[in-house]
């Protein structure tokens, strides 16, 4: 495992001085292995309107607590799917598209 990601944990909601609710984030660095999503993963997800880009494997799954977002190589990704196997967890991720949505509608 020679790559590094940052798991993004959303904190408890707090209100700023203007009354807006914010969710402070904590970022936890984790060693991982990164590969591209395979054709079969891509096309299977595309049938559901999702766009998977990477599959990230974390060796110490104890550090993964269901985070829905992460950073890799300066980019922010959303977790589409998780797969647990022994002490590893595999995260299939994609980028947010427009207005925070993970999927797009094609014409």
Which residues form the domain of 73?
3-13+21-94
What does the pLDDT read at residue 95?
79
Average the pLDDT over each of 48-52, 73-77, 89-93, 100-104 and give the range with the smallest value.
100-104
Q: Interior CA angle at 70 toward 66 and 76, to 5°?
A: 145
Number of domains in the chain: 1
- H helix or E strand, kind and range, residue 71: strand 69-72
What's the average model confidence in pLDDT over 58-84?
87
Q: Name the nearest CA neighbour of 87 among 67, 70, 63.
A: 63
Q: Is residue 59 part of a domain?
A: yes
What does the pLDDT read at residue 103?
44
Q: Is residue 103 part of a domain?
A: no
What does the pLDDT read at residue 105?
36
Q: Is residue 106 part of a domain?
A: no
What does the pLDDT read at residue 104?
40
d(CA 107, CA 95): 20
What does the pLDDT read at residue 80?
86
Q: Is residue 51 part of a domain?
A: yes
What's the average model confidence in pLDDT over 61-85?
88
What's the average model confidence in pLDDT over 68-94?
90
Q: Is residue 105 part of a domain?
A: no
Q: Is residue 107 part of a domain?
A: no
Question: What are the residues facing 31 on neighbouring strands?
Answer: 4
Q: Is residue 45 part of a domain?
A: yes
Over residues 1-58, the pLDDT tens digits come to 688 999 999 888 999 999 999 889 999 999 999 988 766 666 555 555 667 789 999 9
Q: Name the nearest CA neighbour of 95 among 83, 74, 58.
A: 74
Q: Is residue 102 part of a domain?
A: no
**Entry pTM:** 0.74
């Amino acid at each position: 495992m020679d790559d590094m990601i940052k798991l993004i944990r959303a904190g408890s909601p707090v209100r700023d001085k203007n009354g807006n609710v914010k969710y402070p984030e904590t970022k936890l660095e984790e060693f991982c292995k990164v590969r591209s999503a395979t054709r079969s993963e891509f096309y299977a997800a595309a049938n559901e309107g999702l766009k998977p880009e990477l599959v990230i494997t974390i060796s110490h799954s104890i550090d993964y607590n269901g985070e829905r977002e992460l950073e890799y190589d300066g980019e922010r990704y959303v977790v589409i799917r998780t797969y647990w196997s022994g002490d590893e967890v595999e995260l299939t991720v994609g980028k947010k598209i427009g207005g925070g949505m993970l999927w797009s509608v094609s014409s």
